[in-house]
Chain A
Amino acid sequence: MNGNCLDIGTIQAFLDGETRPEQAVKISEHVSDCDTCTLLLAQAEEESSMVFSVLDRELNSLVPTQRLWTRINAEISEEKSRTSVWGRLAAFVTVSLASPSFASAAGILIVFGMVAAVWVMNSGDGVTTGEVAVVNSPVASGSKDSAPPAPVVQDQNNATVAKIEATPVKRESVRVTNLSDSEVNRMIRASYVVNGPRKVSAVPASAQYLPGEESYVKTINELQETVTAQNAAARPSGEVSFQRDLAVVDDSISKMRRVVKKNPRNLAARQVLYSSYQDKIELLKSSAQRDELMASFQ
């Protein structure tokens, strides 16, 4: 025993997975070198498993206790007595709007009213929507009419053959107006409604795999779906230890991932990263095997 021995509170927190990953690593290293702490840890683990087995039914969050049901009933009766007139009116309106036919009729009328209002305002000031500048091209207020000169085609004899009408470009349809900024914004939004949203890439920027990482991540995702579905029936003590081990592995993965991202040429770090991914796959597989075995005995 030495002066750095751990107290029972720290050991219990370590067993319950409440310590940070760095602290858990330090505790694990100390335990491997200290007989006294190893014995304490073993005793605490034994006690925990005994307690968990006794309190299994109470700790299972899927099985509400009688106290919880009593509390739920008390809350319902208290809330019923507290509802005000406005609350009841709001509830009536909410129920009315929940009806699909009522909601659709009211929605159609509201949309029609809004379109009509916009149309009325536009026709009242003489500006049409289609002639306003597009979203990507800001309206330059005060810009003068800048229709380009019509190009002139000349033959070899320099005779003017024809004047080609300039094809109207959206930019050239900007007119000098006396619209306020709010009115201009309303017009831009209307154009947005007509033109639709700008297309964006379907792949998010965060989903950028390091070389060789994609297959590991896909395998892990598939395994995690299986394990998550099965773990609903797992004992609390088993679930705690599984989550603790998973946290250690995830910490390793995130650390090495940062290192490899920073320096992609660091082959040693990449090797350690792949090794960590393999550890996670093995851990998920063992959890799935345990759950299958548990299911076979139920």
Chain B
Amino acid sequence: MYGRIVKLGLLLCLSAGFPLGVIAQKEAPKPKPEVKDKIKPPTYPAPPSFPREPNGTNEKAIAADPNVAIKLCIAQGEIKINGTETNEVRVFVRDGRKFEFKSLEKNAETGKANWIWITAAGSPGRAVGPSANCLSGESVEIDMPMGGSIMLDAQGAGTEIDSIRKATLNILRGSINVRNVVGGVGAVVHRGDVTVESSSGAIDVQATAGNVMVFDVKPGQVGDLLKVRSSGRGNVVLQNVSHRQIDVSSISGNVSFAGKFLSGGIYKFKTSAGSIRMLLPEDTSCKVIASYGFGTFDSRLPLKIETENESEGGKSLVGRIGKGDTTNVSITTTSGSIGISQQGQKFELKF
């Protein structure tokens, strides 16, 4: 009896659930929004453009300290930077924006600018933004003192730098050619090749999708490092480099080194999927420490193996070429091959 009463009460509760819920609503539900038959596609603003001034060639010059530092950004145009024996900075823009010099710092003795910012000249209606100060044109040519240094950000175009003291470059697209820079080179190019030749000092080159070629370079002082990074499929070629500290890495590209290892040097070569090829003179003396996951190791120079460990997926080898007492060469690759050959033997260095 009692159970029946409870069951009846339960049934009544469940039956009352829906109407009670309806009554319990405090506010009426919002009306469903009407779906319009036609939806207008959104409009997007046009990308900013860099208007080319119709005035044609613009050329300006400013007296500068022999060790002047120049800072600028270039949105578009071929770039040429030349070192000259004159103590002035001369800028030549073909078919492009007007520009101006801003002296950020002057030499207290001579009164000449020793820190210059080259920027686009202000004009009404010009776009405002981070790139508003960038130069642009068909080509931009800068003549500056040979003892000067330059810091350049550029979006896209070829860049050539010759005979200055120091260059720091950050290029989005386009190839870079640097020669005769004596105080060091720092170059990052995200899409393009980099070539550094006949230069000295600390060299730090990074290419995301391009080849890197460095030849006839030497350190400016003891401890200067030669560092080369190729993130993509670009190859790295080093030839006749005299730095005692070299750090080279590539992900999918190949690494080629032709030259000699100096006494007391520390050399590191690393790839993920690419191969490492070395072309060394007959009298090479170094200690080789090689680690390779799935690749191979081949040396055509007499290599005295001290320890060797071969297991699936992880092989290592420590050996000496010649006396090999003061120079360390570390070679690491995951799936590429390692090859050491003698100069003069049939060996092609190519991309």
A-to-B contact residues, CB < 8 Å: 24-25, 28-29, 32, 35, 38, 63-64, 66, 69, 72-73, 76-77, 80, 95-96, 98-99, 101-103, 105-106, 109-110, 112-113, 116-117, 119-120, 123-124, 238, 241, 244-245, 248-249, 252, 255-256, 258-260, 262-263, 266-272, 275-276, 278-279, 282-283, 286-287, 289-290, 293-298
Known: A245-B232, A255-B334, A256-B314. A101 touches B17 (CB 8 A): no
Residue B218 lies at the interface, judged by CB distance under 8 Å to chain A: no
Cross-chain contact of A267 among B206, B274, B292, B316 (Cβ < 8 A): B316
Q: Is the CB of B293 within 8 A of A279?
A: no
Q: Is the CB of A99 within 8 A of B129?
A: no
Cross-chain contact of A120 among B7, B37, B44, B131 (Cβ < 8 A): B7
Q: Is the CB of A116 within 8 A of B25?
A: no
Which residues of the partner chain A approach B274 to less than 8 Å between Cβ atoms? 28, 32
Q: Is the CB of A256 within 8 A of B231?
A: no
| CB proximity of A191 to chain B, nearest CB, Å | 22
Q: Is the CB of B134 within 8 A of A248?
A: no
Residue B351 lies at the interface, judged by CB distance under 8 Å to chain A: yes
Which residues of the partner chain B approach A252 to less than 8 Å between Cβ atoms? 272-273, 293, 334-335
Known: A101-B25, A102-B21, A259-B312. A69 touches B293 (CB 8 A): no
| CB proximity of A214 to chain B, nearest CB, Å | 20
Which residues of the partner chain B approach A98 to less than 8 Å between Cβ atoms? 29
A96→B25 CA distance, assembly (Å): 10
Known: A256-B314, A297-B75. A272 touches B291 (CB 8 A): yes
Q: Name 6 extra pairs, CB < 8 A, besides A268-B311, A279-B270.
A: A110-B14, A113-B13, A238-B191, A263-B314, A268-B291, A298-B131
Q: Is the CB of A272 within 8 A of B293?
A: yes
Residue B10 lies at the interface, judged by CB distance under 8 Å to chain A: yes
Q: Is the CB of B155 within 8 A of A286?
A: no
B-to-A contact residues, CB < 8 Å: 3, 6-7, 9-10, 13-14, 16-18, 20-22, 24-27, 29, 32, 35, 37-39, 41, 44, 48, 73, 75, 129-131, 134, 153, 155, 170, 172, 188, 190-191, 206, 208-209, 229, 231-233, 235, 249, 251-254, 270, 272-275, 291-294, 309, 311-316, 332-335, 350-351
| CB proximity of B71 to chain A, nearest CB, Å | 13
Q: Is the CB of B273 within 8 A of A25?
A: yes
Which residues of the partner chain B approach A295 to less than 8 Å between Cβ atoms? 130
Q: Is the CB of B24 within 8 A of A102?
A: yes
Chain B CB count within 10 A is highest, among A24, A66, A110, A293, for A293
A238→B189 CA distance, assembly (Å): 13
Known: A29-B275, A268-B291. A116 touches B29 (CB 8 A): no
Known: A77-B37, A106-B18, A296-B153. A272 touches B170 (CB 8 A): no
Describe A's contact surface by its main secondary structure. Answer: helix
Q: Chain B: which residue is nearest A115 at the CB level?
A: B10
Which residues of the partner chain B approach A256 to less than 8 Å between Cβ atoms? 293, 313-314, 334
Which residues of the partner chain B approach A113 to less than 8 Å between Cβ atoms? 10, 13-14, 17
| CB proximity of A46 to chain B, nearest CB, Å | 12
Q: Is the CB of A109 within 8 A of B13?
A: yes
Q: Is the CB of A266 within 8 A of B26?
A: no
Which residues of the partner chain B approach A249 to less than 8 Å between Cβ atoms? 251, 272
A25→B13 CA distance, assembly (Å): 71
| CB proximity of B168 to chain A, nearest CB, Å | 13
| CB proximity of B311 to chain A, nearest CB, Å | 6
Q: Is the CB of B6 within 8 A of A120?
A: yes
A56→B136 CA distance, assembly (Å): 22
Known: A69-B39, A293-B170. A38 touches B231 (CB 8 A): no
A101→B37 CA distance, assembly (Å): 33
| CB proximity of B49 to chain A, nearest CB, Å | 12
A28→B232 CA distance, assembly (Å): 11
Q: Is the CB of A268 within 8 A of B32?
A: no
Chain B CB count within 10 A is highest, among A66, A96, A278, A297, for A297
Cross-chain contact of A266 among B131, B229, B311 (Cβ < 8 A): B311
Q: Chain A: which residue is nearest B38 at the CB level?
A: A73
| CB proximity of B298 to chain A, nearest CB, Å | 14
Give me 11 A-to-B residue pairs in the complex whose CB atoms sit less than 8 angstroms apart, sorted by A's number: A25-B273, A32-B350, A38-B351, A96-B29, A241-B209, A248-B251, A262-B313, A266-B314, A275-B272, A275-B332, A289-B170
